[in-house]
Structure 1
Amino acid sequence: MPSYEDRLERYFRGSPSVPRQPALATRLLFHAVYNLERRIEEVVAPFGLSMREYLALAILNTRGGEAIQPSELSASLDATRTQITRLLDGLEQRSLIKRKPKVEDRRGLELELTAAGRKLFAQASPAMHEAYRSWWSGFEPAALDGMIQGLRALNKATADEGEE
């Protein structure tokens, strides 16, 4: 079977009107994101977590006990309201998070990481941190900084109005 890049090259040869460099960058980014998501799932699976569950615990852990609203978590994870509800249901059933009525407005909810959630995050995060280091170790710091700058510019160029 031809490699991913060989298949892309075949596509570009057959589609001369396609702007090659931007299209290639886009497709390579899609493929890298797919690979990263798959690899993250592999790293956190031994801890009984999915990628989104791990990231939710990470976000809640950084709050230092301060509650967060589901909508803020949804925005941080680029997830729909339905996806976040399902994610939170699973985390709450496993006693990793706690939902509680918002103090100012009991119709709203706030989320807190439980002791069990903090413990599981503390167990999983060293493996995730090592994976991050491993995946990016082939980049010089300046090259990685350039990539980060480029990704920020791409996010800005593709974001909805008012979104960052």
Structure 2
Amino acid sequence: MTESLDRTRLAAWRAYIEASQRLFTQLEDDLRADSELSFADYHVLVLLSEAPGQRLRMGDLASRLVFSPSRLTYQISSMQKRGLVARQPCPDDRRGSEAVLTAAGLLTLREAAPHHLKSVRTHLMDDLDDAEVACLTRVFERLGRRLRAGRDASTAPGDSDS
């Protein structure tokens, strides 16, 4: 049987779960009210806007979003219908495809970003001092590296970029 958490760690775990869910819900509610984008829409637009040529292979995008291939396909299809992204064959490998940011998608991101940033500041960042920001950054970067490494190790070779 797995050992229980001590009171301090249990309190930290519960505080993290409840606050992170409330924070995510608030940020998504604000994003939808200001821009009609979901958090997933916004994240896709940000990642594509920062990528070389504003395009990413579908497999790379799924990995960065922590989405299954089928979830990413659904997400990109939904965004394609709204003109925010396009899906194109990879120039280097015609078997794969890429998500590409459209001009409309970039404009939508530019219009949504100031409102989203205000929400992030209001509901999280403005309440933290520099030491707390540094601590959160260290903790979540370390956890992210460990979780990515575990996921990468369990990913079977030959996974598709479809």
Answer yes or no: same fold by TM over 0.5. Answer: yes
1:31 aligned partner: 18
User: 2:145 and 2:100 mapped to 1: Cα distance?
Assistant: 31
The residue matched to 2:67 in structure 1 has which SS? coil
1:9 aligned partner: none
Counterpart of 2:31 in structure 1: which amino acid?
Answer: V
Counterpart of 2:80 in structure 1: which amino acid?
Answer: E
Structure 2 unaligned spans of 5+: 154-162
Counterpart of 2:6 in structure 1: which amino acid?
Answer: P
Query: How far apart are residue 156 of structure 1 and its match?
Result: 4.3
User: 2:80 and 2:114 mapped to 1: Cα distance?
Assistant: 23
The residue matched to 1:95 in structure 2 has which SS? coil
TM superposition score normalised by structure 1 = 0.81
2:126 aligned partner: 137
Query: Which of 151, 154, 158 in structure 1 is aligned with 2:140?
Result: 151
The residue matched to 2:86 in structure 1 has which SS? strand
The 8 Å contact of residues 27 and 120 in structure 2, kept in 1 or not, is answered as no
Quickly say closer, same or farther: Cα 1:147–1:109, change in 2 above 3 A: same
Structure 1 unaligned spans of 5+: 1-16
User: 1:106 and 1:29 mapped to 2: Cα distance?
Assistant: 43
Q: Work out which of the two has the higher radius of gyration on C-alpha atoms and give 1 or 2.
A: 1
Query: How far apart are residue 158 of structure 1 and its match?
Result: 4.8
Query: How far apart are residue 90 of structure 1 and its match?
Result: 0.4
- How does 1:104-123 map onto structure 2 within 5 Å? 104-123=92-111
RMSD of equivalent CA atoms: 2.2
Query: How far apart are residue 64 of structure 1 and its match?
Result: 5.1
- How does 1:1-164 map onto structure 2 within 5 Å? 18-46=5-33, 47-63=35-51, 65-135=53-123, 136-161=125-150, 163=152
- The Cα offsets for residues 74-104 of structure 1, whole Å up to 9 and x where unpaired, read as 1111111111111001000111101101112
Work out the percentage of aligned pairs sharing the same amino acid. 24
User: 1:63 and 1:154 mapped to 2: Cα distance?
Assistant: 24
Quickly say closer, same or farther: Cα 1:153–1:64, change in 2 above 3 A: closer
